[in-house]
Amino acid sequence: MNPRVLSVQPTTDFQLLIHFTDQERKVFDVKPYLYVGVFRALQDITLFNQVKPFNGTVVWPNNLDIDPDTLYLDGEPAN
């Protein structure tokens, strides 16, 4: 099992700055998801910015989430 999300901060470019339980910080780019199925709702920047950590992953008010392993494995190290 990979580390889980401790905190998340949205950016203005549809990316997430994520702090994980192993103290690593990564940037996850959500842009590739914005044109796929239920993730289209996140094109609304107001909704996108409402992201929060919950149960080790990230969630939005419409119960949309992204697998925490995807966030960790596909995220790029943050500077």
Q: What is the mean pLDDT of residues 10-24?
A: 97
C-alpha to C-alpha distance for 40 and 21, rounded to whole angstroms: 29
Say what percent of the chain tops pLDDT 70: 100
Average predicted confidence (pLDDT) for the chain: 96
Q: pLDDT tens for residues 26-53?
A: 999 999 999 999 999 999 999 999 999 9
Long-range own/partner contacts, residues 4-10 (CB < 8 A, 24 or more apart): 4/56, 4/57, 4/68, 5/53, 5/56, 5/57, 5/58, 5/68, 5/71, 6/53, 7/53, 8/51, 8/52, 8/53, 8/58, 10/48, 10/49, 10/51
Per-residue pLDDT at 1 exceeds 80: no
